[in-house]
């Protein structure tokens, strides 16, 4: 099987939108063992799209077509493919029902344009869209399979995960299972990780190893080919010890979890609670933890103490401490964490105070961040970071570091309860 990925949209070729789908689908195909040979992007231009489809059908036998399934008049992927394949489109009552429910929930009438999305290939199959109105579609003709997916990433990715991957696995009908394990790392760069594991990455064939940089952190993805889950498990086990021996402390999850998910899991397992006092991260730290369902069981709350006034009034940081050391200091980080923990009656509290930029503050450089970790009955610890990058990047990395520090503490196990 040979793959071509076509992404459709004038926003792509005019440079308005970065095409992430080709990258995402290529990686997914790679782990399924299906080689991708071409990516093509083309605008919302039916004649050009027609030619691109024709060419792709000559050089690939599995073709993804992403985008152009929307309700507007320039969304023509499905219609163009139907024309190219000379295949009929018919209205699907299930999709109509889905559209009705979708807009009913929003207490809105169905825009007339959206009905266009209820037409599907008579000889094809339909992938239900849980997060939007356009269904995904697949059709096979002349030994070539075409898979049409909606353009918005929040629709395409879950659809691939829950509908398209199983469809491909069945098509591949390999006996071998593909089992993937993701080792998630923080506080170590991708090139450093690749260096430390260089010989393993080169030599290990099953599981295959590859590194991927995340927005923050790095993934080592291990892909095992095995007859059973148990066999895959033993393949992972054969290299895992060595990986951990070389990189142990930097690996925070083998289950593809985010740092906030790991912190939530560790806290709730031990029935512990946390509170936050955020200056430079401005609420991001609390927000990250609250993205995890059920987080209200472990998060007491947080205080966004963005001004000295609020640091003093709501968190009782003494005015003379703020005056003597400044808001961005070891001392303030410590007081913020300790007072917040006591005030919100939590087992832990984490504080952040720093200079997110773009200008320096208190004569302190952009990127300087202090993180306090207070714990019931223990001495408060304070960490210093010197970060780089944009304001948003510094806020994000500081918040993730705060979670990483808490995770390192929680995983040690010797806890108070």
Of residues 348 through 387, those in contact with its own copies by CB under 8 A are 356-359, 386
Q: Is 22 an interacting residue with respect to its own copies (CB under 8 A)? A: yes
We find the least distance from the C-beta atom of residue 113 to its own copies, in angstroms, to be 5
- CA distances 242 to 221, 239, 352, Å, are 15, 6, 35
String of contacts with its own copies for each residue 193-232, x by CB under 8 A? -xx--------------xxxx-x-----x-----------
Q: Which of 16, 86, 143, 379 binds its own copies (CB under 8 A)?
A: 16
- Which residue's structure tokens are 């599907």? 120
Q: Which of 286, 329, 352, 353 binds its own copies (CB under 8 A)?
A: 286
String of contacts with its own copies for each residue 132-161, x by CB under 8 A? --------------------x-x-------
Cα 266 to Cα 347: distance, rounded to the nearest angstrom:
13
Cα 225 to Cα 232: distance, rounded to the nearest angstrom:
7
- Between residues 34 and 125, which has the closer beta carbon with respect to its own copies? 34
Query: Which range in 136-144, 166-174, 309-317, 376-384 contacts its own copies by CB under 8 A?
Result: 309-317
Q: Which of 77, 80, 114, 329 binds its own copies (CB under 8 A)?
A: 114
Q: 386 forms bridges with which residues in the sheet? A: 368
- Which residue's structure tokens are 């004649």? 47
Q: Which of 174, 191, 238, 271 binds its own copies (CB under 8 A)?
A: 191
Q: Is 13 an interacting residue with respect to its own copies (CB under 8 A)? A: yes
- Between residues 139 and 369, which has the closer beta carbon with respect to its own copies? 369
CB atoms closer than 10 angstroms to residue 247: 18
* Strand ranges inside 290-361, DSSP E: 299-304, 348-354
Q: 134 forms bridges with which residues in the sheet? A: none
- CA distances 163 to 124, 145, 349, Å, are 14, 15, 41
Q: Is 415 an interacting residue with respect to its own copies (CB under 8 A)? A: no
Q: Are 321 and 339 in contact (CB under 8 A)?
A: no
Query: Which range in 137-145, 246-254, 303-311, 403-411 contacts its own copies by CB under 8 A?
Result: 303-311
- Collapsing DSSP states into helix, strand and coil, what is residue 299? strand
Number of residues that bind its own copies (CB under 8 A): 102
Cα 341 to Cα 288: distance, rounded to the nearest angstrom:
19
What is the distance, to the nearest Å, from the Cα of residue 339 to the centroid of all Cα atoms in its chain?
33
We find the least distance from the C-beta atom of residue 413 to its own copies, in angstroms, to be 26
Sign of the CA dihedral running 63, 68, 70, 72:
negative
Q: Is 43 an interacting residue with respect to its own copies (CB under 8 A)? A: yes
* Strand ranges inside 18-72, DSSP E: 36-42, 62-66
We find the least distance from the C-beta atom of residue 35 to its own copies, in angstroms, to be 8
Q: Is 266 an interacting residue with respect to its own copies (CB under 8 A)? A: no
Query: Which range in 91-99, 140-148, 246-254, 342-350 contacts its own copies by CB under 8 A?
Result: 342-350
Residues in CB range of 389: below 8 A, 6 or more apart: 367, 397
């Amino acid at each position: 099987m040979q793959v071509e990925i076509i992404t459709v949209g004038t926003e792509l070729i005019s440079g308005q939108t970065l095409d992430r789908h080709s990258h995402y689908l290529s990686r997914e195909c790679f782990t399924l063992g299906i080689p991708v040979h071409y990516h093509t992007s083309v605008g919302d231009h039916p004649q050009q799209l027609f030619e691109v489809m024709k060419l792709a059908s000559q050089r690939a036998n599995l073709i993804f077509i992403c985008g152009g399934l929307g309700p507007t008049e320039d969304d023509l992927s499905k219609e163009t493919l139907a024309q190219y394949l000379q295949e009929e489109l018919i209205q699907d009552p299930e999709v109509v029902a889905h559209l009705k429910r979708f807009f009913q929930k929003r207490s809105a009438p169905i825009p007339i344009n959206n009905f266009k999305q209820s037409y599907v290939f008579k000889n094809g199959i339909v992938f239900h869209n849980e997060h939007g109105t356009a269904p995904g579609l697949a059709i096979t003709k002349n030994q070539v399979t075409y898979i049409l997916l909606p353009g918005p990433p929040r629709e395409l990715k879950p659809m691939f995960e829950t509908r398209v991957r199983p469809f491909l696995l069945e098509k591949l009908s390999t006996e071998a299972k593909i089992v993937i394990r993701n080792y998630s790392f923080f506080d170590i760069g991708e090139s450093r990780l690749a260096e430390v594991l260089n010989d393993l990455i080169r030599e290990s064939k099953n599981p295959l190893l590859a590194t991927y940089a995340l927005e923050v952190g790095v993934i080592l993805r291990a892909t095992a080919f095995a007859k059973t889950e148990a066999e895959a498990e033993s393949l992972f086990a054969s290299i895992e010890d060595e990986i951990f021996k070389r990189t142990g402390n930097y690996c925070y999850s083998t289950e593809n979890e985010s740092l906030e998910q790991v912190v939530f899991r560790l806290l709730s397992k031990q029935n512990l609670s946390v509170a936050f006092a955020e200056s430079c991260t401005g609420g991001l730290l609390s927000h990250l933890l609250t993205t995890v369902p059920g987080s209200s069981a472990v998060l007491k709350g947080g205080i966004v103490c963005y001004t000295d006034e609020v640091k003093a009034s709501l968190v009782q940081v003494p005015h003379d401490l703020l005056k003597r050391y400044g808001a961005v200091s070891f001392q303030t980080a410590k007081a913020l964490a300790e007072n917040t923990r006591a005030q919100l009656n939590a087992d832990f509290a984490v504080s952040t105070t720093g200079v997110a930029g773009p200008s320096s503050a208190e004569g302190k450089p952009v990127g300087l961040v202090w993180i306090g970790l207070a714990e019931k009955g223990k001495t408060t610890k304070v960490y210093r970071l010197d970060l780089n990058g944009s304001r948003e990047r510094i806020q994000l990395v500081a918040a993730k570091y705060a979670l990483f520090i808490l995770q390192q503490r929680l995983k040690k196990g010797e806890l108070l309860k």
